[in-house]
Amino acid sequence: MTARAGTLALLLCAVPAQSHETAPPRDGQHDFDFEIGTWKTRLRRLQRPLTGSTTWLEYEGTSVVRKIWNGRANLVELEADGPTGHLQVLSLRLYNPQARQWSLHYANSNDGTLSQPTIGEFKNGRGEFYDQESFNGRTIWVRNVWSDITPTSCRFEQAFSDDGGKTWEVNWIAVDTRVKE
């Protein structure tokens, strides 16, 4: 062995082995626990999404969120009144422990069917959920975002994209404030 090879071998032995252990994957089954309870909601809804419309309709109401399966699911009942009448919306949120993601299903009282779910997760206090669905005969992307989460308030936005996610048009904004119980 040459002196150079011996020095290299000595250096390699002297370098501590680096651990390749990583933190266990994040368990997000309690991501929506912040929302359990009763909320006053103020929401704005774009009257005609993806048409260039800038007319927003404003509603006020109440949202009640119930924990199911020890937090791995929850049920949301939203009732609000505005210029087009009374809205009744139901949301069923289910946590998939293998994928570590949530699926968010919606229904309204007008048609009584569950929508295709948006799927996603929370990172750094922000939840993002996506799907593709048909809207006015076209396939679009849908994005739901939960943000500005505090113990007494939160914000929800829904946006549509008809260009593959390059641009997004927000069409539903809800700001919720916790009702003191």
Model pTM score: 0.82
Tens digits of pLDDT across the chain (181 residues): 555 444 434 434 444 455 566 777 788 899 999 999 999 999 999 999 999 999 999 999 999 999 999 889 999 999 999 999 999 999 999 999 999 999 999 998 888 888 999 999 999 999 999 999 999 999 999 999 999 999 999 999 999 999 999 999 999 999 999 998 6
Structure tokens at 60: 């006020």
Q: Name residue 42's beta-bridge partners.
A: 60, 175
Backbone φ and ψ for 97, nearest 5 degrees, come out as -65, -25
What lies within 8 Å, CB to CB, of 61 at 6+ separation is 40, 41, 43, 78, 79, 80, 81, 87
Amino acid at 33: D
